[in-house]
Copies of this chain bind each other. A is one copy, B any other.
Amino acid sequence: MRIAELSRRTGVPVPTIKYYLREGVLPPGERTSPNQARYDDTHIHRLRLVRAMVEVGGMPLATVREILDQVDADDVQSDIDKLLGTVQRAVFSTVQPHADAERQTAKEAEIVDYLRNELGWHLPLNNPAIAALASVVVTAEDLGHARFVEFIYRYAPIIGEIGVVDLDYVATAQDLDFMLESVVVGTTLGDTAILALRRMAQTNESARRFPNIRHRTFD
């Protein structure tokens, strides 16, 4: 198909598709002449994936490219672990560490200690999520929410079960390509889904605890 049909079938404007081609998040079509190219179903799929990451996942295009480069790279095939690492780094690149580097480092050690010794988690110290979490906890302390970290410790074993489901999702993919995409989809769309579920769980728990209150209808 040509670019107009690609646009029609995905709902993405032609200039935007051109922009994505320039930015390298969409591979070029097959050349048929110096200034003509042909696109196929893989382009439709990729375009939808990009839009999902941008619109639903709220990712900057540079991050999308970074992740998709890894998915496309041959050496990542059969290396889910590396892809997971790339996705993690890409997602947390925005969270900068706390200004007080010493407190930040101490908090990282404290958190890792707990997760390893109390929950038996296997965690490399340089996992970028650790720095992100420590930064959040220190920020909470600055706001006078010192008890926040205790609740983090209550969250941890619960989220541990989420990790099990996540790995199941990747493991049940039919083939390698789909498995790689499952990492990306499971993580990006999964994040949004989990936060939405959290809101509903809060609403539910609130209704359960205070059954007499006439609850908001979010009009």
Give the size of the chain A interface in residues (CB under 8 angstroms): 96
Q: Of B130, B148, B195, which contacts A189 at CB under 8 A?
A: B148
Closest-CB distance, A170 to chain B (whole angstroms): 9
Residue of A128, A163, A191 with most partner-chain B CB within 10 A: A163
Main secondary structure of the interface of A (DSSP, over half): helix
Are B135 and A92 in touch, CB under 8 angstroms? no
Are A185 and B148 in touch, CB under 8 angstroms? yes
Are B148 and A154 in touch, CB under 8 angstroms? no
User: Which residues of the other chain, B, contact A92 by a CB distance below 8 angstroms?
Assistant: 196, 199
User: Which residues of the other chain, B, contact A143 by a CB distance below 8 angstroms?
Assistant: 45, 48-49, 52, 181, 185
Are B140 and A165 in touch, CB under 8 angstroms? no
Are B158 and A199 in touch, CB under 8 angstroms? no
Are A129 and B196 in touch, CB under 8 angstroms? yes
User: Which residues of the other chain, B, contact A62 by a CB distance below 8 angstroms?
Assistant: none
A155-B193, A160-B201 given; name 8 further pairs at CB < 8 Å.
A56-B135, A123-B207, A127-B203, A143-B181, A155-B197, A158-B158, A163-B200, A167-B205
